[in-house]
C-alpha cells in the first residue's frame, strides 16, 4: 500500500515536471532570455555582469530541469521489484523519450 501511495505521488510530480518542461520549451528565446536576466539581476545590478552570467544561468536551469526529471523518474522505478540495472535503464529510456519529444 505504501508503494502505491509513493507511486501516485511520483506520477503527479512527474506530470507536473513534464508540464514545466513543455511550458519552458514552448517559450521563444527572447522570453527565456528575459527570465534568465531577471534571475541574474537578483544577484547584481551591473548590466555587463548580467550579460556574462545570463547564459550560464540558462545552462544551469536546463541541467537542473532535466536532472530533477531524472531523479523523479528513477524514484518511480525504485518502487518496483526489479534489478537496479533494469531500473536505471528504464528510467533513462523513459526520460530520454520524454525529453526528445517535447
Domain boundaries, the chain: 2-27+55-100
Residue 79 DSSP one-character state: T
Q: What pLDDT does residue 5 have?
A: 94
C-alpha cell at 6: 509513493
| CA separation for the pair 32, 90 (Å, rounded) | 31
Asked if pLDDT for residue 102 goes beyond 70, the answer is: no
| CA separation for the pair 72, 52 (Å, rounded) | 32
Residue 59 Cα to chain centre, angstroms: 12
pTM score? 0.74
In contact, 80 and 87? CB cutoff 8 Å: yes
User: pLDDT (tens digit, 9 = 90+) per residue, 20-66?
Assistant: 888 887 777 777 777 788 888 888 888 888 888 888 888 888 888 88
Asked if pLDDT for residue 19 goes beyond 70, the answer is: yes
Please state, for a pLDDT cut of 90, what percent of the chain lies above it.
13
| CA separation for the pair 36, 42 (Å, rounded) | 10
Amino acid at each position: 500500500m505504501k508503494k502505491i501511495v509513493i507511486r501516485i505521488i511520483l506520477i503527479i510530480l512527474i506530470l507536473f515536471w513534464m508540464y514545466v518542461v513543455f511550458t519552458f520549451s514552448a517559450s521563444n528565446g527572447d522570453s527565456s532570455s528575459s527570465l534568465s536576466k531577471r534571475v541574474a539581476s537578483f544577484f547584481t545590478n551591473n548590466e555587463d555582469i548580467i550579460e556574462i552570467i545570463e547564459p550560464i544561468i540558462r545552462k544551469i536551469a536546463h541541467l537542473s530541469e532535466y536532472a530533477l526529471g531524472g531523479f523523479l523518474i528513477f524514484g518511480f522505478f525504485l518502487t518496483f521489484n526489479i534489478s537496479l540495472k533494469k531500473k536505471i535503464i528504464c528510467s533513462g529510456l523513459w526520460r530520454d523519450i520524454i525529453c526528445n519529444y517535447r
